């Protein structure tokens, strides 16, 4: 993808984010933020019993990179298991958003993936605790 196509993709996801909004009765919600520039998101996940993300969405405010990046990542990882999410390499973000953008806006670019990974860890922890009851 050339630079112009990449910028169009990012702008499109910023102006028309996919999977935006709350999921009523979500199995899991988790906030994430970027203190450096004030980006703040909440990720909502509907999980199957075996840890598949059946539905995912987010709400938040932030810069174009964090909002578009979160929209793109949720679109890519919806339907994956929590294990697959936890094992998603960070290089996925740079392969989607471009190395130059990720290098200059690191925290913004990784906000969506990092929050989703933390949500996967939280879900696994909660399931483990439930199994001990």
Question: Measured between alpha carbons, how far is residue 92 from residues 24, 113, 127 in Å?
Answer: 29, 9, 27
- Determine if the pTM surpasses 0.85: yes
How many domains in the chain?
1
At 23 the pLDDT is 96
pLDDT tens figures, 17-69: 999 999 999 999 999 998 878 999 999 999 998 999 999 999 999 999 999 99
Whether residue 59 lies inside any domain: the answer is yes
CATH (domain of 89): 3.90.1010.10
- Does the pLDDT at position 1 exceed 90? no
Whether residue 54 lies inside any domain: the answer is yes
Q: Which of 72, 61, 60 is nearest to 98 (CA)?
A: 72
């Amino acid at each position: 993808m050339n630079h112009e196509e990449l910028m169009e993709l990012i702008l499109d996801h910023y102006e028309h984010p996919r999977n935006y909004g709350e999921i009523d009765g979500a199995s899991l919600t988790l906030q994430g933020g970027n203190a450096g520039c004030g980006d703040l998101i909440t990720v909502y996940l509907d999980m199957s019993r075996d840890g598949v993300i059946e539905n995912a969405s987010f709400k938040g405010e932030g810069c174009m990179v964090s909002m578009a990046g979160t929209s793109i990542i949720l679109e890519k990882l919806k339907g994956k298991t929590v294990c697959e999410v936890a094992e998603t390499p960070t290089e996925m973000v740079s392969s989607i958003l471009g190395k130059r953008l990720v290098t200059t806006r690191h925290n913004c670019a990784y906000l969506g993936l990092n929050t989703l990974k933390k949500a996967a860890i939280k879900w696994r922890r909660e399931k483990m605790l439930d199994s001990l009851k």
